[in-house]
């Protein structure tokens, strides 16, 4: 990613980039968007028999990351932990979003509404902490149990789903970080998700996880 000059817009609404180097970067990102849509076209989500999960992961990994391709979606707001910027709705079968993470902030501990998530780091590093799913029947107030923590580096791809637990994502860096997320089915956008108190494991339902922008336009 050498030769890229980065500039953060001071109004807190978007990130702007001046890029040099490859001239086909925009079409590469658009091709990824279309390839993911095509892969999910005949299915209802990653659990469907006609979807190759490894193929989706491979598409994300092989995307030749360049800011010129996705910069128009990368709208940040330093007053928030992160912003959700809708790129594509995948024929109703998925949501593809660019998330912009404010330095020193991140997400609460959350589930994924019985959906599946693929995440590729586009810029910077992010810290992911995973937790065991709280015992819904026990009702005992106790700290969430950490099962793993790792730093996700630029261009890394990870998979997450509720059967693997719950997690939080945090930007511990001093600059904005950016990641690409594929959610399928788009349950969280329609019905929200659950967040969890790290000290008590208490669950709260967020009715809807709204978008900051859609298709390159701030909402």
Binding residues for Fe cation: 110, 112, 167
Instruction: Say if CB 61 and CB 157 are below 8 A apart.
Output: yes
Cis check: omega of the bond before 117, within 30 degrees of 0: no
DSSP codes of every residue in 175-212 = S-EEEEEEEES-HHHHH-EEEE-TTT--EEEES----S
Instruction: Say if CB 133 and CB 162 are below 8 A apart.
Output: yes
Cα distance between residue 6 and residue 19, in whole Å: 8
Which residues are CB-contacts of 59 (< 8 A; sequence separation ≥ 6)?
32, 35, 36, 39
DSSP-based helix, strand, coil % in the chain, nearest 5: 20, 35, 45
Angle at 203 between CA 183 and CA 135, to 5 degrees: 95
């Amino acid at each position: 990613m050498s030769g890229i000059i980065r500039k953060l817009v001071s109004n807190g609404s978007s990130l702007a980039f001046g890029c040099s180097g490859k001239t086909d970067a925009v079409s590469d990102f658009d091709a990824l968007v279309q390839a993911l849509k095509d892969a999910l076209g005949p299915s209802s989500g990653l659990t469907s028999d006609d979807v190759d999960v490894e193929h989706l992961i491979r598409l994300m990994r092989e995307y030749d990351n360049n800011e010129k391709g996705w910069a128009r979606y990368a709208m940040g707001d330093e007053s928030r932990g992160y912003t959700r910027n809708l790129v594509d709705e995948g024929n109703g079968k998925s949501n593809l979003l660019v998330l912009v993470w404010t330095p020193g902030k991140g997400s609460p501990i959350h589930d994924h509404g019985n959906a599946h998530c693929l995440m590729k780091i586009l810029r910077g590093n992010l810290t992911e902490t995973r937790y065991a799913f709280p015992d819904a029947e026990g009702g005992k107030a106790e700290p969430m149990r950490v099962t793993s923590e790792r730093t996700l580096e630029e261009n890394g791809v990870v998979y997450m789903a509720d059967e693997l637990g719950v997690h939080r994502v945090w930007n511990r860096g001093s600059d904005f970080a950016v990641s690409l997320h594929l959610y399928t089915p788009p349950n969280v956008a329609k019905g929200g998700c659950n967040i969890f108190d790290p000290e008590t494991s208490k669950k709260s339902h967020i009715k809807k996880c709204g978008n900051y922008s859609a298709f390159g336009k701030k909402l």
